[in-house]
Structure 1
């Protein structure tokens, strides 16, 4: 039997109970859940197992690959540069990265990269996922290619490319790599156990990801010249790749952040708290307001579901994530079900990270169960 550890306020006892039931049923392998309300941690739970063989328990300092929840930190880095006056979200990307203007991309603005509307949602073939590890070369290739749809007209999830695109802007505007910026300007000052990639000294406390259930895809129904196929199907990513040394050593700002619910909540609650956490200022309220400048709302050209994007984050959309708050809130998560929801109206941050990946596009049955239980407790 897997035990649940940590603490929660008595008002949130049902969240612990739900977590225990998920672990006991085997639906959950190992995970961590954190809820922060107005700067106070009211839930900080962890439990289960690091490994599929259920030999190594998930402990307080266990971290895991958080997949696209990484994007939330990467885009926070860009917004911090906006806040410092080094990056204008409404300026052409080419103002900071001249080479990006090639092949008709001179009109693409920074906000388009941050909202998945640039048309550069994947790499032109031939391209293998291992090619992402050479950050400089992979980024040059993105600068050289043409967009796959008219920029700014619709979102098409930049599943793998957003980290390279935004990371290059960080490098050019801050004079340092995305990995170092996150370490020195975000995780370090906040004391957050999060990193792009993973330091080798931390590998023994990483919970390897367990792939999601196999899903059949009717390739005959997918336009092979469309963004969905070219982004996701030309070189499908095997989830177990995240458990390799090469993956952990790479800088993949869209995909390979390592942390847990506590570290993601610690970082992203800055959005709920007017930009400042325990005296560490990351953003101004004025910059945070940019998140809610809607950039797209409709069927995403890559994921095929309704999505609404502001600058840097997804905004509430009743069909795709109906259990998220529908007011002034933002969210995103990672492949398999990890999720961070920031509700600015109630100054609440919910963070859930796990190693056993579920099915589905955004969120999972488990993340929905936890979020609904948390909201019931909040009420």
Structure 2
């Protein structure tokens, strides 16, 4: 495999760690980037971007990073807090009156961000194409009842997170999610991608697909077991209502839509730039006081949807002791995406980390590919 890119002196071993993902772990097209103290210490890419194997994967190639999108959406929400437009402890219904329907009048923005709202899935079967219609999705969310008493337990919202939080952001700010992203995140850092796959600095898009040979799991697949055990339960419903949430990711409808919990298309350089800024002593994207609060643990529990123990700040997963959630030091925070992509910040070392792949593994957290790169990087720091 011909590895393209750059490693700073002393970090050359990252070439081999990245190449191992192609040689041993099934990568076909991927990129990796690490930033420290605001400087790129590695930016690597290799492979092909299309299924036919004719289009080279480049540094600015965008791939669907699935739930790694959530960290970027959370950042936009926090920027509205910094601007005085959003109070996280006020009811969402203050800004979005329709959201008060079906027992949601008391839900706060903070509960949305740390996955304690109970609004984790559509209650009724919805049309397959609903997810491509932003206004219709927001209206459906507003009508949806929580699955349990808001605040009573932690339950990750795989897809509704994007519409609940995105709707709140738009109602509170009077601007669209895409416009806020552009001026608040993308333009300051000159990012390649964004939500959806169109209208960004880069037009290179990778097709995503499953790994031909599954990687050994770093933890038991409790989510898959829960889905099989109860096809109508909250875990299954959260991931499969509608089925297009899991099946349409290379189509034009998916790429043109705004599905901010799951259809962010970014390069590894993008994720490393965002989290490198947030890990720095003087971040430009967010006020330090608000960032400190947002990255303080807000909820820790055995998650009712993820079926494992995890801790959340405001929109970010907190670093844990498990190998697939070890975001550098204890103060690390970030967000992985289904299939293997991940971005995280480590304030202790001022590292921002990004790994993006077009070949999806079965984990919702980091898998062997990102873990191997992370472990190699930290041996060299």
Same fold (TM over 0.5): yes
Q: Report the alpha carbon displacement of residue 152 of structure 1 after superposing the two structures with TM.
A: 2.0
Contact in 2 for aligned 1:274/1:288 (Cα 8 Å): no
**Unaligned 5+ runs, structure 2:** 215-220
Contact in 1 for aligned 2:26/2:211 (Cα 8 Å): no
CA distance in structure 1 between the partners assigned to 2:130 and 2:323 by the alignment: 32
CA distance in structure 1 between the partners assigned to 2:102 and 2:194 by the alignment: 34
CA distance in structure 2 between the partners assigned to 1:220 and 1:70 by the alignment: 23
Name the structure 2 match of 1:333: 336
Name the structure 2 match of 1:250: 257
Contact in 2 for aligned 1:271/1:342 (Cα 8 Å): yes
CA distance in structure 1 between the partners assigned to 2:326 and 2:103 by the alignment: 40
CA distance in structure 2 between the partners assigned to 1:157 and 1:7 by the alignment: 37
CA RMSD of aligned residues (A): 2.2
CA distance in structure 2 between the partners assigned to 1:248 and 1:98 by the alignment: 30
Query: What secondary structure does 1:47 align onto?
Result: strand
Contact in 2 for aligned 1:64/1:207 (Cα 8 Å): yes
Name the structure 2 match of 1:143: 142
Matches within 5 A, 1:118-267: 118-199=117-198, 205-212=204-211, 217-218=224-225, 222-224=229-231, 226-237=233-244, 239=246, 241-267=248-274
Contact in 2 for aligned 1:275/1:288 (Cα 8 Å): no
Q: State yes or no: 1:301 paired with 2:301.
A: no
Q: Report the alpha carbon displacement of residue 332 of structure 1 after superposing the two structures with TM.
A: 0.8
Query: What secondary structure does 1:360 align onto?
Result: coil
Match 2:315 to one of 312, 336, 351 = 312
Q: Report the alpha carbon displacement of residue 4 of structure 1 after superposing the two structures with TM.
A: 0.8
Matches within 5 A, 1:260-275: 260-274=267-281
CA distance in structure 1 between the partners assigned to 2:318 and 2:198 by the alignment: 32
**Unaligned 5+ runs, structure 1:** none
TM-score (norm 1): 0.92
Q: Report the alpha carbon displacement of residue 298 of structure 1 after superposing the two structures with TM.
A: 1.7
Name the structure 2 match of 1:348: 351
Query: What secondary structure does 1:46 align onto?
Result: strand
Name the structure 2 match of 1:37: 36
Q: For residues 54 and 230 of structure 1, do their structure 2 counterparts lie closer, same or farther at Cα, with a shift above 3 Å needed?
A: same
Q: Report the alpha carbon displacement of residue 230 of structure 1 after superposing the two structures with TM.
A: 2.1
TM-score (norm 2): 0.91
Q: For residues 293 and 72 of structure 1, do their structure 2 counterparts lie closer, same or farther at Cα, with a shift above 3 Å needed?
A: same
Q: For residues 174 and 224 of structure 1, do their structure 2 counterparts lie closer, same or farther at Cα, with a shift above 3 Å needed?
A: same
Match 1:364 to one of 354, 362, 367 = 367
Q: Report the alpha carbon displacement of residue 239 of structure 1 after superposing the two structures with TM.
A: 4.8
CA distance in structure 2 between the partners assigned to 1:6 and 1:113 by the alignment: 39
Contact in 2 for aligned 1:210/1:357 (Cα 8 Å): yes
Contact in 1 for aligned 2:68/2:343 (Cα 8 Å): yes
CA distance in structure 2 between the partners assigned to 1:234 and 1:325 by the alignment: 35
Name the structure 1 match of 2:103: 104
Contact in 1 for aligned 2:274/2:352 (Cα 8 Å): no
Aligned length: 373
Q: Report the alpha carbon displacement of residue 10 of structure 1 after superposing the two structures with TM.
A: 2.4
CA distance in structure 1 between the partners assigned to 2:295 and 2:71 by the alignment: 15
Q: For residues 6 and 335 of structure 1, do their structure 2 counterparts lie closer, same or farther at Cα, with a shift above 3 Å needed?
A: same
Query: What secondary structure does 1:304 align onto?
Result: coil
Contact in 2 for aligned 1:102/1:144 (Cα 8 Å): yes
